[in-house]
Amino acid sequence: MEVVVVPSAEQVASLAADAVCRLLQGAPGAVLGLATGSSPLALYAELIARHRRGEVSFARARAFTLDEYVGLPAGHPESYREVIRRELEDHVDFGPGAVRGPDGTAADLDRACREYEQAIRAAGGVDLQVLGIGTDGHVAFNEPGSSLTSLTRPKALAQQTRTDNARFFGGRVQEVPSLCLTQGLGTIGRAGHLVLLACGQQKAQAVAATVEGPLSASCPASVLQLHPHATVLLDPAAASAL
Ligand code: GLP
């Protein structure tokens, strides 16, 4: 695992954008894995800026999002599919249908998860997966206790995660869904390059457990230790417990 500590959150975003742009410049039809949450927002803003300057095109790329809430109506502003549309997709040149996410509105959630796995495989797998990390060490919505080989499946959200994410729902934790669909740790581990971004003191313990702790389902992000090409980009606060 490559751990890079840079002086600011802007530089975390900039290094992550470098990795995405390098990939797309060499392989314009590459498959990206997109994360939601606040961690990748500066990265997406940077990618939009570079796209507007003509430095990167997504026209031949495809993308798969990591996870989705269950129980939010399609088009809800906090559904992860909408977040990705708003924060990145609408501002760059992805082709129609090029970005997909797990269908949290499906009547048969298990089937939706199986189909999502198949879609990722049919696309040839994810080349570069952007990741954030939860304060409890979760990646995507793989909460502590998740199998390290898990595939896309429905999961219950930990209370900590619902509390953390209440800020996106006007602070009302009761409005945060309690169920989600998430790529598994096994799914994520098949991506060619994992790029995890973490900034801020509140991530310091989870980052330390990920980088220096034992490989354990109690810190799902520790699965990065098994990956042959994992990059962890940190600001000084997120690196402060290393
Ligand atoms: C959310 C998402 C994760 C994200 C994490 C951290 O629950 N499902 O994909 O990485 O929590 O979020 P943030 O970046 O806002 O701290």
pLDDT in tens, 179-205: 999 999 999 999 999 999 999 999 999
Question: The tokens of 60 are what?
Answer: 């031949």
pTM above 0.90, yes or no: yes
Give yes or no for residue 38 CB within 6 A of ligand 1. yes
Residues of the chain with pLDDT under 50: none
C-beta of 35 in contact with ligand 1 (< 6 A): yes
pLDDT in tens, 59-78: 999 999 999 999 998 889 99
Six-digit token pair at 176?
């945060």
The answer to whether 154 and 141 have CB atoms below 8 angstroms apart is no
Per CATH, the architecture of 2-234 is what? 3-Layer(aba) Sandwich (3.40)
Determine contact, residues 221/142, Cβ cutoff 8 Å.
no
141 lines ligand 1 (CB under 6 A): yes
In this prediction the ipTM stands at 0.95
- How confident is the model at residue 74, as a pLDDT? 84
d(CA 143, CA 128): 22
Determine the distance separating the centroid of ligand 1 and the alpha carbon of 54, expressed in angstroms.
Answer: 30
Give the other-Cβ count within 10 Å of 167's Cβ: 12
pLDDT for res 109: 98
Residue 7 in contact with residue 199, Cβ under 8 Å? no
What type of residue is 189? G
Tokens of 190: 């098949």
In testing the pocket of ligand 1, which one of 165, 188, 223, 235 has its CB within 8 Å of the most ligand atoms?
A: 165
Q: Which of 68, 133, 187 to mutate to test the pocket of ligand 1 (most atoms within 8 A of CB)?
A: 133
Q: Where are the domains of the chain?
A: 2-234
